[in-house]
Chain A
């Protein structure tokens, strides 16, 4: 079975540009999470969705960040405009909340560099 798929794997952009990160969760999973990993702050949850509905976006750093999940198999995280401090690895994770196997499985991550 395919795991969580993220694209692109690497993104280099210039300050002020719009960046869109993409995620395809594991088929059948009803929760989707976006995390950011930096040296300074470690792994932190940005936002998560349940059945395509955003549940908690309290981790989104500021209004420049937005996330959508138009259907069960696709989500985007957008940064507009991007800044150098947004440079990080962004992970998407998904989970099926069965109560037995409610474990989050992570994608390979997108390494974002903002110059």
Chain B
């Protein structure tokens, strides 16, 4: 069965610190997709990144970077030089691909990141 585990419930850091949010997933499929979404205090869900299971190349986007390791079934998210605006709940999600379409998103329980000034 599919499962996404975000073991860190809450993380508190001081501005400019680096922080890594952990995500571990379970799936029996060989083709799947992994996502990160951000939910700021305003409540909306903002898409951050999508990664295919056959692409293990790490990705960097500004202060954000993602480390995908199939060997450990992990898809971790690092924020470098954190800022107060990064304060939010971050969700990792998984979907299995069949018929070329991603359908059901299975979400982790989320990690609340609080960045203190």
Give the B-binding residues of A (Cβ under 8 A): 31, 33, 35, 42-45, 48, 55-56, 89, 91, 93, 95, 97, 99, 102-109, 111
Q: Is the CB of B104 within 8 A of A43?
A: no
Total contacting residues, chain B, CB less than 8 A = 21
Measured CB to CB, the nearest residue on chain A to B44 is A108
Which of B50, B101, B107 contacts A42 (CB under 8 A)?
Answer: B107
CB of B47, distance to nearest CB on chain A (Å):
6
Q: Is the CB of B101 within 8 A of A102?
A: yes
Contacts of B103 in A (CB 8 A): 31, 48, 55-56
CB of B8, distance to nearest CB on chain A (Å):
15
CB of A29, distance to nearest CB on chain B (Å):
12
Which of B37, B43, B50, B107 contacts A89 (CB under 8 A)?
Answer: B43
Q: Is the CB of B107 within 8 A of A43?
A: yes
Task: Kindly name the residue among B37, B45, B104, B109 whose own CB sees the greatest number of chain A CB atoms within 10 A.
Answer: B45
Asked if B85 is at the interface (CB within 8 A of a chain A CB), the reply is no
Q: Is the CB of A99 within 8 A of B100?
A: yes
A106 to B107 Cα, complex, angstroms: 14
Measured CB to CB, the nearest residue on chain B to A30 is B101
The answer to whether residues A42 and B43 also contact, given A31-B101, A97-B101 and a CB cut-off of 8 A, is no
Which of B102, B109, B110 contacts A102 (CB under 8 A)?
Answer: B102
Asked if B105 is at the interface (CB within 8 A of a chain A CB), the reply is yes
Contacts of B47 in A (CB 8 A): 103-106
